[in-house]
Amino acid sequence: MDQSANHACLPTPLASTTGRGQDYEMPVEETSTPQKLPQFRYHPDPVGTGSIVADEVSCVSCEQRRPYTYTGPVYAEEELNEAICPWCIADGSAASRFDATFTDAMWAVPDDVPEDVTEEVLCRTPGFTGWLQEEWLHHCGDAAAFLGPVGASEVADLPDALDALRNEYRGYDWPADKIEEFILTLDRNGLATAYLFRCLSCGVHLAYADFA
């Protein structure tokens, strides 16, 4: 998990976290106490999307044994292949300690999206893995919530998501029949995949697709 980051991330102050420069020490939690996953506004079900998996490992950031680990991309100056736990993503300590982001710099952020929203997506939200360069979608002046990779069957009953996919490939000058054929090939686990989002304000579904 590597590549370059170009966005400064600050940790979110928490009562259970103390910082020394870019060094963070978190108190050891009782292993007998179930550890509830943190909530992510812009990625509400990271276990369902596959970005976080149940796998007890030692987190490279907090150095604690954790029952879940992050499997998505990490963009940092130095190669970072060790496990990162979702708690260190949620409080921003992993991003700050390693000068990392979990989504690549969002070059297509609309002007009406506040900077703190962009920082939350980049630094305190689990990313996701696509075939090509991942893109975080926006709507109503906010980042949208990522719902996961989907295929043709999942978007068939979401006309707003279908319209978004059609508009995307019209922009590439694809003819209508080719677009419809392409949409039918979409598969969550296939070589052509769509990525589904939902606006947190108006509820509209958004999507884009890429392929290997």
Nearest C-alpha neighbor of 11 from the set 3, 22, 1, 25: 22
Q: What is the spatial distance between Cα 113 and Cα 49, in angstroms, rounded to a whole number?
A: 25
Q: Is the pLDDT of residue 19 over 70?
A: no
Sorted by where each begins, the domain ranges of the chain are 18-98, 130-211
pLDDT band at 108 (very low <50, low <70, confident <90, very high): confident
Q: Is pLDDT of 29 > 90?
A: no
Over residues 175-186, the mean pLDDT reads 98
- What average pLDDT score do residues 55-84 get? 94
Query: How does residue 27 score in pLDDT terms, banded at 50, 70 and 90?
Result: very low
Average pLDDT, stretch 16-31? 38
CA torsion sign, 105 to 144 to 146 to 185?
A: negative
Please report, for residues 112, 148, 153, 204, the alpha-carbon distance to residue 156 in angstroms, rounded to integers and kept in the order given.
31, 15, 5, 15
Predicted pLDDT of residue 7: 56
The mean pLDDT value of the chain amounts to 88
pLDDT for 180 equals 98
Q: What is the DSSP letter of 171?
A: T
Angle at 48 between CA 46 and CA 50, to 5 degrees: 70
pLDDT digits (tens, 9 = 90+) for 50-66: 999 999 999 999 999 99
The reported pLDDT for the residue numbered 24 is 37
- 126-174 tens-digit pLDDT: 999 999 889 999 999 999 999 999 999 999 999 999 999 999 999 999 9
Say if CB 169 and CB 182 are below 8 A apart.
Answer: yes
pTM summary value: 0.85
